[in-house]
Structure 1
């Protein structure tokens, strides 16, 4: 089942990327821009459940500050824009057992409209590839069940010349567990790696056409 889920997500990603490529070519004479972006994120992964030294645990993570850095492009026609991005994200969480972090590549593909003046609204799916996760302090955490998952992002943005400011919320649709097992210490629990975070970004347009 895990292999089938990965295969379906990868097929979907390739299809969307192909559509975006064709759209970009068709919109060559329309509005287009590309640039860099980065900023801070504030959130956490999901629940930790199981037993530690024979004691049951069911813990929700506290939010912590992380960061992100990446690239974006933006195609616009008839008042609607499509904004694909490729972003490295460090998501940090704090449990009672210690701090925990995941490192991932995000591919949000957002659709949006301009509202009033420089204000815009955007939302869409966000594909993520988790390429590493840290141990929970001294407790060794296994790899994530699915390194490729899909969630969503939605938020508001401001465009001020070449500068842009975005505030978004990111969530995920599916559980994505890591397992920690230590028979000697009578420890066995799962940690859900689903992100839930607020994202504050600054962007800078490097070029394009109007």
Structure 2
């Protein structure tokens, strides 16, 4: 976690010296999540809704922008376990974490933005439940990295972002010393307001 914060601070300082303006503000939004488990014994459940809230910064560079965010995120997932000679077991997962996405993007037509980048997730309090009871042996990694990509829209001081988030474990087991994971795939819609 210290590496993530230090890297984020250093990157912000370096890019500030090359920036054409920095904007800061609050951000809130909703997400639609679906677990994507890669196993014949696990069956993915229905999509679930979650929320996030926090702050964003926008650092305008020559022709590009960098948008780091710090968000408290609550998501959910549902799946079932179907093994031979055993009854089907259904599980609900609640993920409470701090997400730190860093989007690199560019503007088109002065309103529309295209963006993509990594997202670091720090587990705060995540639980796995079976029939409403917490499963004690649930093992969630404390910090992982995934990716986000999507579009944005700027209307005055209002920013609207629509992004897709998924895991990087298809490509590599770790990145910059952090584990990638089989995180939930989710669609994210958020709204921010530029106050500075």
- Asked if these proteins are the same fold (TM beyond 0.5), I'd say yes
Radius of gyration: which is bigger?
1
SS for the counterpart of 1:79 is: coil
Work out which of the residue numbers 174, 178, 189 in structure 2 matches 1:200.
Answer: 189
Note the C-alpha offset of 1:61.
3.1
Work out which of the residue numbers 157, 161, 165 in structure 2 matches 1:166.
Answer: 161
Matched, 1:21 2:5: no
Q: What's the counterpart of residue 92 of structure 1?
A: 76
Matched, 1:80 2:64: yes
What is the CA–CA distance in structure 2 between the aligned matches of 1:154 and 1:71, rounded to whole Å?
Answer: 18
Matched, 1:126 2:107: no
Cα RMSD after superposing both structures: 2.4
TM-score, normalised to structure 2, is: 0.80
Unaligned runs of at least 5 residues, structure 1: 1-8, 50-55, 176-191
Which string of whole-angstrom CA distances, capped at 9 and with x for unpartnered residues, describes residues 30-53 of structure 1? Answer: 22100010010001333286xxxx
Retained in 2: the 8 A contact 1:47–1:61? Answer: no
SS for the counterpart of 1:174 is: coil
Retained in 1: the 8 A contact 2:123–2:140? Answer: no
Residues 1:94 and 1:132: Cα distance change in structure 2 (over 3 Å): same
Q: What's the counterpart of residue 53 of structure 1?
A: none
SS for the counterpart of 1:47 is: coil
TM-score, normalised to structure 1, is: 0.75
Q: How many residues in Structure 1 have an aligned counterpart in Structure 2? A: 175
Which string of whole-angstrom CA distances, capped at 9 and with x for unpartnered residues, describes residues 59-118 of structure 1? Answer: 223211110001000111211100100001111112341432110100011100001231
Q: What's the counterpart of residue 107 of structure 2?
A: 114
Higher RCO (Cα < 8 Å, 6 or more apart):
1
Unaligned runs of at least 5 residues, structure 2: 81-89, 171-180
Instruction: Say which structure is richer in helix.
Output: 1
Note the C-alpha offset of 1:143.
4.4
Retained in 1: the 8 A contact 2:77–2:184? Answer: no
SS for the counterpart of 2:137 is: coil
Matched, 1:66 2:50: yes
